[in-house]
Amino acid sequence: MPGSSRSGHQNAPRPRGIIDAAKQCRKGGAMRSQRISHGLVVTTAAAAAVLMLSGCGPSEPQAQASTAPGPSSASPDATSASPAASGTPTATAPATAAPGAPALCKAAGLSAATDASGGGAAGSVFMKLNLTNTGPESCVLRGFAGVSLAADAAGAPIGAPATRDEAAAPTDVLLAPGETGSAVLRYTQAGNYPDCAPVDAAGYRIYPPEDTASLFLPQPTKACSNAEITLLTIGAFQPA
């Protein structure tokens, strides 16, 4: 019958081998899906690990770069050290006499005298102040003597001390024993000054150049006790 033939066709059982093959196919596909999924998970995890390592990686080179000095960093220090060395300041040594050179003449080794052969003009007397080396060694006179009028050999100066006459430049005057150096001494008469308060002077007190000890040269004259009046001028020592 036509109907029964359709019914028998639809309900006809499949062969067993075909059914088993289909099951195996479905099972294998599921396993492949699991393997693919597992592979993706592993691959994704590996990629994440690589990214994490790559993110941490640059910190180590940066630390090395910050601690390790470059070869050029020493160059500025060496350059800045040069001005300091060169900039080290140098003190100028004071001039000193060479070993064995004659020392300055001192009062203890000198004698004093005056020579009035220089004449005078307009109430003034020009004379030479002579200092003679009385010691056993040569010595040097250099510059100007200090001169003032004094009441006596032990007395204090009277009035103003002599001012310097710088018409002749100072020079070193070497005195061998017995030799003399001279300087021009000018004395102005006390009577030339109406305001002068005249007093008697016993002579001159003389300080050799650069010496604090003095000589007394007896030579009575008049002095002004007024400190504002200057009666004396003295020049630099020259060879006699």
The span from the CA of 233 to the CA of 223, in Å, is 14
Give whichever of 11-25, 72-86, 112-126, 147-161 has the largest mean pLDDT.
147-161
Quick one: what percent of the chain has pLDDT higher than 70?
Answer: 57
Q: In the structure, what pLDDT confidence band is assigned to residue 234 with cuts at 50, 70 and 90?
A: very high
Q: In the structure, what pLDDT confidence band is assigned to residue 1 with cuts at 50, 70 and 90?
A: very low
Q: Which of 108, 137, 138, 113 is nearest to 127 (CA)?
A: 113
Q: Tell the residue number behind the tokens 């390790």, with chain if given.
A: 68
For residues 199 and 44, which has the higher predicted lDDT (pLDDT)? 199
The span from the CA of 157 to the CA of 161, in Å, is 8
Which pLDDT score, from 0 to 100, does residue 80 have?
Answer: 34
Which pLDDT score, from 0 to 100, does residue 117 have?
Answer: 74
Which pLDDT score, from 0 to 100, does residue 26 have?
Answer: 52
110-115/172-175 β-pairing: unpaired
Of the ranges 60-74, 88-102, 201-215, which one carries the lowest mean pLDDT score? 60-74
Q: Tell the residue number behind the tokens 């040069």, with chain if given.
A: 82
The span from the CA of 32 to the CA of 239, in Å, is 130
* Tokens, residue 171: 């020079």
CA distances from 152 to 34, 133, 200 (A): 137, 24, 10
Per-residue pLDDT averaged across 69-81, rounded?
Answer: 39
C-alpha distance across the termini of the chain, in Å: 179
Q: pLDDT averaged over the chain?
A: 73
Q: Which of 170, 94, 179 is nearest to 135 (CA)?
A: 179
The span from the CA of 225 to the CA of 149, in Å, is 10
